[in-house]
Structures are given as C-alpha cells and as structure tokens.
Structure 1
Amino acid sequence: MTDRAPQPVDRLLPSDEARDLISLVRDIAQREIRPKAAEEEEAGLFPRKVFTLLSDSGLLGLPYAYEYGGGDQEYEVYLQVLEELAAARLTVGLGVSVHTLAGYALAAYGTEQQRGRFLPAMLGGGLLGAYCLSEPASGSDAASLRTKAVRDGDDWVITGTKAWITHGGVADFYTVMARTGEEGPRGITAFLVPGDAEGVGAAPPEKKMGLKGSPTAQVHFDGVRVGDDRRLGEEGQGFAIALSALDSGRLGIAACAIGVAQAALDEAVTYATQRRQFGKPIADFQGLRFMLADMATQIEAGRALYLAAARLRDEGRPFAKQAAMAKLHCTDTAMKVTTDAVQILGGYGYTADFPAERYMREAKVLQIVEGTNQIQRMVIARHLAGPESR
C-alpha cells in the first residue's frame, strides 16, 4: 500500500520565500517521493534520481551561502524542509541531512579557495556526500579512531576503514577524519576525499531492519592519495570540526524524527476515524483518543524544541546543549509515537500493507545515529554540571 498524503503541518515560517520553499518541497514529496516509498524501501532501492531532482531544485545546499551554490536559508527553515522530506520517506530526509553534514567541514573551515573550488558542485551539481567518522572499533569513543593520514610531500596518503557510513559506496565525496598525529582528539585532521579516488572502496551494504533503501556500509581507504589542498582546517583540528558538525547534524536527525512521527500520527488518525468497531469509529473510544492526543502533544513539543535550537544557531549563539536535547527528545518521541501507531492499527499495523510498521522500524535507528541517546544525555549533563561547560 502506498503511503497516504498527510495533513499539512501549519508551519510558522519567517518569510514568503520560506513558505514558497515548503510548498515546493511538499509538491515534490507528493509527486516524486511518497508514491514509491513503500515499494522501493521493501526492495532496498536507493533513490538516486530523487537526490538529483533535489539538487536540480536547489534543495541540497539550503543552509549554505548563495555565492557557493547554496540556498542561504536559515537553519529554522532548512530543518522544516527536512521534516517534510522525512515524513514522505526517511531515506530521503536522512540522506539530505547527511549530505549537509558532509559539506559542513568545507563550508565552515575551508579556505576561500577551497570553498570556491569544491562547494558549488557539492551543493548544486548533483553530487552526494558522506561523513566518515565512525570506525569498526570506535563508535561513541570517536576520538580513538585508527584511520591514518601520512604526509608524503605535498600529498597525504590515507589508510583505514570507516564504518556505518550512510551513502557508503554511492557517495561522490567523503569528509574523512583521519589520524595525523598524537593519540586522542588533538591528533585528528579532516580531509575531503573524492568518491572515485584510487583506493576508495566499499563493503556490501549492511542488512538493516529499516531504512533499507539507504545504503549503510564500511568504506575502505587503501593508500588513498589526496593533495594538501583537500585538507580542511588545520592539522589536528579535525576532531573539533567533527564535533561542531555533529551539533548541527543532530538537529537534522531531530527534524527527521519528527517527520517520521508526524507521518505515523497521520496514519493512526486516518485509520482510527475510518475503522469501526461496536458500531462506531474506534477514534470515539476514550482510550484511543487519549493515545492520539499524547502522540500529537509530544510531536509538537519536539518540533518546538528543534526549532528553538535552530533559532539559537541562526543567531550565532551557543546551541550544542539544545541540539543534544532536541535529538534526544525527538528521536525518543518518534520511537514512542510509531510504536503507538502500530498499536492503534492493531493487526493491520503489524503488516506491510500499512506503513506504520515501517515507520516503527525506521524510528529505531534515529535513537542511535550521530550519537546514541545515551551519549546525548552525557552531553547535556556535561553542559549542566561538568567542568567542560566552564
């Protein structure tokens, strides 16, 4: 069964331009993404043509500067675009978020020459990016990564394996964190590696419980040679760049989570108002009405939380704590709401004839990616009581 079109969220947007942008995204989602979502996810098909369409429509570089091919949109607007895309198909929403994450190091820490040379193609040239921090033995403890980059004249030679890479094997460029010096966070440097560079390869995609259309794979760097003009930031600055990127990336995950939760709520409301038992719609029973009310309230709270953090970011104010809170709350909400949606649909919710079961499987990974929710709690607590916050 194809996913039903949701009731449009009544959004608070800062300009007519932003309202037109959301209308464009909804039109693309309704015509090009939602009708094929269930079938293509079941078949594990990666929607590369959709990402090409999004690039052609100017939607792959929204929060970046117009002079480099971006959309010059506030993060508050960009995140609401992500929510709309994720509600239609999480593979697409998450993919745009990861692509934006992959471009962050260049946009924020690259030289003017690097930005002018590389960013336009990355933001509007049909390219797709991936972010390479995690490794088979370093996930939450990211500073213990083992991938090495060794200086060889004017080049760097990168060797190692990255794990759990969204778009692994299909990306056109990889932002790679590699060790160039001492152990620990101060010995890590960031590099921009072309996807077709000699020595870059990918393992077969992981077999996942959800997000089957989004390839997640190990990426191998076997003596990959890149020039020093592809080093981003200073030597040893890579870990700080990675953490800064993740602050923004977590907001993207939060917005995607609310998109999935909203889609599940819309499905549950539609079913509950149409399904009749004991002579009336099941939505008339108080137990279900209260479930729907709680689902809607948590979604609105999550949306307000990620937008509040985005506004801090747009104003140039610290937002790392709020980003962690948004990622934590929104992804936990998505898991709870999608589980309740399956319950409301009953036996039908457990079948692939309705999208509720897919939403539930997809929501789970959002509690894990870009810092597990246990890590988010550590980040929040550190800001509240730890010495790092001072």
Structure 2
Amino acid sequence: FHLFARTGILAAFIPKDCGGTGASERVLIELFLAIARRCLTSALALSQWAAAVRIIDTSHDPSRTTLLADLASGRIRATVGISQISTSRRHLSAPALLATQHETQWSLTGLCPWVTGGDSSDLLITAAVTNSGETKFFCVPLQTRGLCIEPPMKLLALSGSRTSAVHFDRVDPGEPIDQKSSSTVRTGGLATSALALGAACGSVDLIEKEAAARPSLRLVVDEFQSECRSVRDELFDSITRDIEPMQRNRLRLRANNLVVRVGQAFLTATKGTGFIEGHPAADRVCESLFFLVWSCPPSVSAAAMCELAGLDPDSEFSSDVL
C-alpha cells in the first residue's frame, strides 16, 4: 500500500476535493485489471480498500474530507467487512452482526466473517442490521475495545491478503455513517469481474511463455487472448451504460468461467511440474477458484452450479437458489 500511495494509485479513488485525483471509473477498472494481471492478492486488498473508500465518500460527516485525504496519502489504511449483509451467513435466522441503540449510543455485537487485512488496517467499514431490519454502516477503529481480530485464515490461495474474522462484543462504533443517499450493498460488481479478467489475462501471459518453446500452444494462446479481449470489451461497454443487474451478473459469470478455464489450461500445459506446490500453475489454479466464492450473487452461483452439473440454467435447482 505504500507503493500504491507513492504512485498515486490510492489518490485515483479519492475525489479531488478530498486530496485525490478523482479518476474516472474506466481508469479505476484499468488499474484493477493491470494489478490483478500481476498479483491477485494485491488487487484483492486494493478492492477492499476501495470499497471502504466508496462508503466513506457517501458520508455527510465533516470529518469525511480529512479522512479521505489521509486514505489517499496512505497515512491510514481502511478495509471493509460487509459480507455478512451481502453474501455470507444471510441464511441464519439472526443477523451475523447486530446493531442496537440505547438512547443515543450504538452497540455492535456479532461477527464480520471476512475482513481482508484486518490485522494490518486502522479502520474497518462495516454494516450491521438493527432489530427493525434496517442496515447501518459504521466506521470503527480496529483498536476499539470489544473487537477481537482472529489470526489470518489459511486459505486455499491468497493467504497474503491476511483475511480474518472479526468479532464484536458490545463494541461502541460511534455514530452510523450519515449517508448522502440511501445505499445498498451490491455484489458481483464490475470491479470483481475486472479482477477475474485480470487474473485470466495473467494466466494467458504465462501460457504464452510456454508457447515460446512449444509452438503447438500458440493456437490455445490466440483463442484465449481473443476471449479476453471480448470480455474486456463487454466490461468497458458496461461502464458507459447503466446495465441491469442481470447483465452485470452474466458478465461476472463469463469472467469467472474464463479465469477458471485458463488456470486449468496453464496447469495442463505445464504437465506434472505444474502440480508441484508453489509452481505458478498450481497457484493460478487455486487463485481462480476464489472467484467461485468471492462476492458471488446467488444467480451467479446457481448458474455456475448448473454448468458444473450439466443442468439447464432454467432448472428447478436454479429457481430454488434464486
């Protein structure tokens, strides 16, 4: 993140009136693509920081300007923990993270199950549900009393993201973020598709290196590069149009499918050597599977399951999931 700050990458996500450069969405997606192509762990961490910034930017709070300026410079670091209200643990009868109000004071109790960089950030932007079912966003310093950050999980891939569960025991989070407009949590957005496409392009680059010594792989590389360009075109076309959630989810499914197939193709190209732990092909295969579970809307998960099982996308299973 120090490198991101020095090179102006963090500032690109921050409005100009808050110490940033206010880059266009197209430029931000280009950044995600380029970083994920080289290091998916770094791209994931940046995406979670950017999600926190986006929520802070909706605030009416007078401290918004100073806080965003500190984030742009890298003086402080923020992350986000909102999966409990978007894709994770929503099947539970009680909210995973409950917000209760006693007179003017708020209290948070429960769990944020997935927090990237939880043990290396200063602030956590989280969301909790009230007894009335309303969602509230909070900006919580990670040194706040009552917070317990578990050790980073040993993930199948991307353990360098230092993703942890964070427990809340009657934590005083301060006032909820007073948002300029009502905000909903959106899963499967364009940034997630950009990370999947970037990772896929990175794997194609590695297959192309193999093709230098094995010309028979050239046809495979050409086909994957063509598909990457097609998905990229669709991604940038989506930026210029206000696409419907169904179209956005189809793009996410297409990017997911591509990154998984390219990872497996890279493993196949490297033969037995690629199956050794620590080989780039083994790493790429494991990283590609991340997109099957990260910020996946039910419709994307259902379509993926139908494809894997050879079921019709309009099957009863898909209808039940949706």
Question: 1: distance between equivalents of 2:294 and 2:168?
Answer: 22
2:306 paired residue number: none
Q: Among 150, 155, 172, which residue is 2:105 paired with?
A: 155
Decide whether the 8 Å contact of 1:169 with 1:219 is kept in 2: no
1:78-227 matches, within 5 Å, as 78-107=28-57, 109-111=58-60, 113-135=62-84, 139=88, 141=90, 145-183=95-133, 187-227=134-174
Candidates 249, 255, 258, aligned match of 2:194: 255
Q: In 2, distance between residues paired with 1:126 and 1:90?
A: 23
Q: What TM-score results when the alignment is normalised by the length of structure 1?
A: 0.70
CA contact 2:108–2:170 (8 Å) conserved in 1: yes
SS in 1 for 2:172: strand
- Asked whether the equivalents of residues 134 and 145 of structure 1 are also in contact (C-alpha less than 8 Å), the reply is no
CA distance in 2, matches of 1:131, 1:72: 20
AA paired with 1:337? V
Following superposition, which runs of at least 4 residues in structure 1 exceed 6 angstroms of deviation?
Answer: none
Q: RMSD of aligned C-alpha atoms? A: 2.9
Q: TM-score, normalised by structure 2?
A: 0.84
SS in 1 for 2:9: coil
Q: How does 1:371-390 map to 2 (within 5 A)?
A: 371-372=296-297, 374-375=299-300
Q: Which runs of 5+ in 1 are unaligned?
A: 1-50, 275-281
Q: Which residue of 1 aligns with 2:177?
A: 231
1:323 CA displacement? 3.1
Report how many aligned residue pairs link the two structures. Answer: 305
Give the Cα–Cα distance (whole angstroms) in 2 for the partners of residues 177 and 142 of structure 1.
17
CA gap 1:84/1:190 in 2 versus in 1, 3 angstroms: same
Deviation at residue 96 of structure 1 after TM alignment: 0.7
1:128 and 1:311 map into 2 onto residues whose CA distance is 30
1:241 to 184, 194, 205: 184
Percent identity, aligned pairs only, is: 20
Q: For the structure 1 residues 75 and 320, does the alpha-carbon distance in structure 2 shift closer, same or farther, using more than 3 Å as the test? A: farther
Question: How big is the shift at 1:138?
Answer: 6.7
8 Å CA contact 1:265, 1:296 repeated in 2: yes
Is the contact between residue 136 and residue 161 of structure 1 (CA under 8 Å) also seen in structure 2? no
1:228-283, CA deviations, whole angstroms, 9 ceiling, x for partnerless residues? 2x434389x5xx4323xx46xx2112111122111111111111222xxxxxxx32
C-alpha displacement of 1:86: 1.3
**Is residue 245 of structure 2 the alignment partner of residue 295 of structure 1?**
no
For structure 2, list consecutive stretches of 5 or more residues without a partner in the other structure: 304-312
Q: Please identify, of 73-82 and 133-142, the stretch whose mean Cα deviation from structure 2 is larger.
A: 133-142
Structure 1 residues 359 and 304: alpha-carbon distance in aligned structure 2, compared to 1, 3 A threshold: same
TM-superposed CA distance for 1:352, in Å, is: 4.5
Query: Over residues 149-176 of structure 1, what are the superposed CA-to-partner deviations in whole Å (9 max), with x where a residue is unaligned?
Result: 2223443111111102222222221111
Post-superposition shift, 1:83?
Answer: 1.3
